[in-house]
Amino acid sequence: MRITTLIKKYQGRFSFNLLLIVLEGALALLFPLFIGHAIEDALHQDYQGALRLGLLGLAALLVGVGRRVFDSRFYAKVYQEMGAKVIANQGPDDTSKKTARLGMMKELVEFLEFSFPELIHATISLVGVVVIIATLQIQVFWGALFTAVLVLPIYWLSSKKTLRFNKEANDEQERQVAVIAMADKTALQRHLKKMMRWNVKLSDLEALNFSLSWSILMAFLVAAIVISVGSGLVHYGALFSLIMYVFQYLESLISLPFFYQNGLRLREITNRLSNAEPA
């Protein structure tokens, strides 16, 4: 069972959900700019900028709440229908695999409900912020692109290990109910030890990748502040907006590898669920 299969089955509702996600991300992208304008206006005893900022916040609230209310009901239905299908496609004696794969199905649905909107927001933020930074300070713009070139390959180079560790962890998870049913303390301890071993390996790999990436991003943040101040940008609102956009860019860039790693895990899960389906 692949994500594309779910999207085709619920195409209309997925499209509406995607529209709300994009709108929410676009509104979030405007906050630093509106805050900068509000600061500039307030320094001149003008509060029109603050009013526009408040209206932006209200619009973001309405769209965000509406999307979450829709999501909770929509994905509950998806899990109910597709989870039943996953169970039906397993043999009558595959209780252990049924339990594990139902959990994997839940993980897939939770990705669509929670992580997918964050991925869209991060992508919108990354592209939109880079464009806005280019209009505010071109040297910082080139620095942002160079930083991305340094960070993204770190995770790409570790993708094979990530896939292998996830496969081993899922293989062990599928044996869990059978091991518990054996009522053998030694076998259960051995099973749990194997499960934790692969989780630790995944965690260590993620920690290494994150530490390398974060070091590069912090160096860029410091450099961006120095460049921005040294460039003669005298409007406090514009300077504040630029620094906020740089920080927003860093948040988006550091989150994309997380989604990439999560995507690798989901690819292994969807392949497993697809292989379980009858031809």
Residues in contact with 48: Cβ distance below 8 Å, sequence separation at least 6, in sequence order? 41
pLDDT band at residue 279 using 50, 70 and 90 as cut-offs: very low
Question: pLDDT at position 93, please?
Answer: 57
pLDDT band at residue 46 using 50, 70 and 90 as cut-offs: confident
Question: pLDDT at position 234, please?
Answer: 52
Question: pLDDT at position 176, please?
Answer: 76
Q: Is the pLDDT of residue 57 over 70?
A: yes
Q: Is the pLDDT of residue 16 over 80?
A: yes
Over the chain, what is the mean pLDDT?
82
Contact predicate 217/250, CB 8 Å: yes
Picking from 249, 250, 229, the residue whose alpha carbon sits closest to that of residue 238 is 229
Q: Give domain limits for the chain.
A: 3-274
The predicted model gives 49-58 an average pLDDT of 92
pTM: 0.69
The predicted model gives 6-16 an average pLDDT of 84
For the ranges 23-27, 103-107, 273-277, the one whose mean pLDDT is highest: 23-27
Q: What contacts 24+ positions apart, CB below 8 Å, involve 256-262?
A: 256/119, 256/122, 256/123, 256/126, 256/152, 257/151, 257/152, 257/154, 257/155, 257/209, 257/213, 259/115, 259/118, 259/119, 259/122, 260/155, 260/156, 260/159, 261/155, 261/162, 261/206, 262/111, 262/115
The predicted model gives 155-177 an average pLDDT of 81
In terms of Cβ atoms closer than 10 Å to its own Cβ (0-12, 13-18, 19+), residue 140 is: buried
Question: pLDDT at position 44, please?
Answer: 82
Q: Is the pLDDT of residue 243 over 80?
A: yes
Picking from 157, 126, 147, the residue whose alpha carbon sits closest to that of residue 216 is 147
pLDDT band at residue 90 using 50, 70 and 90 as cut-offs: low
The predicted model gives 189-200 an average pLDDT of 84
Candidate from 190-199, 218-227, 269-278 with smallest mean pLDDT: 269-278
Helix 95-110 / helix 159-174 crossing angle, nearest 10 deg: 140
Candidate from 3-17, 67-81, 215-229 with smallest mean pLDDT: 3-17
Dist CA 266 CA 167 (whole Å): 10
Contact predicate 126/25, CB 8 Å: no
Dist CA 223 CA 218 (whole Å): 9
The predicted model gives 258-262 an average pLDDT of 77
Q: How many CB atoms lie within 10 A of CB 209?
A: 20
Dist CA 257 CA 202 (whole Å): 14
Q: What percent of the chain has pLDDT over 90?
A: 15
The predicted model gives 37-53 an average pLDDT of 87
Q: What percent of the chain has pLDDT over 70?
A: 90
Residues in contact with 97: Cβ distance below 8 Å, sequence separation at least 6, in sequence order? 90, 174, 276
Amino acid at 256: L
Domain 3-274, CATH: 1.20.1560.10
